[in-house]
Amino acid sequence: MTEIFTGSFTQQEPIPEEAVEAALAVLRHGRLHRYNVVPGELGETALLEQEFAAQMGAKYCLAVSSGGYALAAALRAVGVQPGDPVLTNAFTLAPVPGSIASVGARPVFVGVTEGLVVDLDDLEAKLDQARVLMLSHMRGHLCDMDRLMQMCDAAGVIVIEDCAHTMGAAWRGQLSGRQGAIGCYSCQTYKHVNSGEGGLLVTDDEELAAKATMLSGSYMLYERHLAAPGPEVFERIKYNTPNVSGRMDNLRAAILRPQLRDLDQQVSRWNERYAEIEDGLRDTPGLTIVERPEGETYVGSSIQFLLLDWSPERIAEVIHRCAARGVELKWFGGAEPTGFTSRYDSWRYADSAPLPASDRVLAGIMDMRVPLTFSLEDCRLIARIIRAEVGAVYQS
Ligand SMILES: *Cc1c(COP(=O)(O)O)cnc(C)c1O
């Protein structure tokens, strides 16, 4: 009998009841705008920022409209100007180079290793080309953050972290997003907390926090924030920081607060599922497991494996055969961008120098989402299907 998987790779869990209740309360009073509060009231957005700052051990937090907005605000806050080069990962998703392009700056791509992290040797060679690195922890893979920060600090390169896939992850016990000058998170449906759209930004730097807050569209109401610097910091920057509206609203914040309280538990549940799939795929001929480094605490909300040096035709055959059995694999090596996968050379608004070693890795990256609606048995079944189909094509 041929086993078929019938679950959905895009179905997340429902919003927890407590969050639904909190959302209803906001809808019933009608004060959705973050600055629309009655005397003495602490709005949901301000409370979310206060709680997330505490959870991350950060001095300051700002909630915004999306992860991509947080990245662009971070770039503006650190002073990136039109035409400036910004170092970033060749292996990432389109909103990352997009945020750089949105401020008129120019991405300079850094290669990817077989461990799916930024190639630190390539980065070292390019550090003199820019004063900012937009580091994307793509698909939750953390590089040796100690070495990276050492290199960037020595070169005077400011690090902005894209933690869309590492909310809840850590490097040697330090939460992801807390090594660089600014950490940015996404609360979009497919990330680790779900408000449909939304973003969070954390930093310990008072001036960056004040600038990001002004940028997000705080008018002169920044005193209603609970995780922002004091008014004297805003005094210094308020006349020179434009309003580029991208605020979070109280409805989304209400939905997010209970989810953030559950984050650690959700991370364990993702990792149980990840472990089942990884175990099931181990020792499949032709398939390379992406081994996780010792210092990394990851969030297994998606899994990647490599079909290194396979021809595009054979990879397409694996994808086709798995799809026929209900298993949706995404491929980062495809010539055309499809869905959320694209390659650095498909972002044609940005010039890119060839990265042959990275091209070899990218051509073999297979990617799969692991929503929490999958049971552990679902994960074992999915692994059996991939194993069988990779094996069948490998031996043919
Ligand atoms: C989703 C995502 C973002 C941006 O998040 P949005 O909230 O969708 O703007 C940034 N980087 C990566 C790697 C992502 O996957």
Closest C-alpha to ligand 1, atom 7: 67
For 327-364, write each residue's pLDDT tens digit. 999 998 887 888 777 888 889 899 889 999 999 999 99
Residues with CB under 6 A from ligand 1: 66-68, 92-93, 95-96, 136, 138, 162, 164-165, 186, 188, 199
Q: Is the pLDDT of residue 147 over 80?
A: yes
Ligand 1 centre distance from Cα of residue 99 (Å): 10
For 359-382, write each residue's pLDDT tens digit. 999 999 999 999 999 999 999 999
Ligand 1 centre distance from Cα of residue 94 (Å): 8
Per-residue pLDDT at 37: 96
* Ligand 1 atom nearest residue 188's Cα: 7
Ligand 1 centre distance from Cα of residue 102 (Å): 14
* Ligand 1 atom nearest residue 190's Cα: 1
**Residue 94's CB: how many other CB atoms inside 10 A?**
15
Per-residue pLDDT at 142: 98
State the DSSP string of 106-129.
EEEEE-B-TTSSB-HHHHHHHGGG
For 197-256, write each residue's pLDDT tens digit. 999 999 999 999 999 999 999 988 999 999 999 999 999 999 999 999 999 999 999 999
Q: Is the pLDDT of residue 10 over 90?
A: yes
**Residue 10's CB: how many other CB atoms inside 10 A?**
10
Do residues 79 and 52 lie in contact, with contact meaning Cβ atoms separated by under 8 Å?
no
Tell me the CA end-to-end span of the chain in Å, nearest whole number: 21
Radius of gyration of the chain (CA): 21
For 14-71, write each residue's pLDDT tens digit. 999 999 999 999 999 999 999 999 999 999 999 999 999 999 999 999 999 999 999 9
For 71-123, write each residue's pLDDT tens digit. 999 999 999 999 999 999 999 999 999 999 999 999 999 999 999 999 999 99
Helix (H, G, I), strand (E, B) or coil at 166: coil
**Residue 304's CB: how many other CB atoms inside 10 A?**
20
Q: Which domains does the chain have, with CATH numbers?
A: 17-261 (3.40.640.10), 263-395 (3.90.1150.10)
Do residues 159 and 135 lie in contact, with contact meaning Cβ atoms separated by under 8 Å?
yes
Percent of the chain with pLDDT over 70: 100
Ligand 1 centre distance from Cα of residue 188 (Å): 8
- For residue 170, the surrounding DSSP H or E stretch is strand 170-171
Residue 353 vs residues 83, 110, 116, 127, 357: alpha-carbon distances, Å: 17, 10, 19, 15, 12
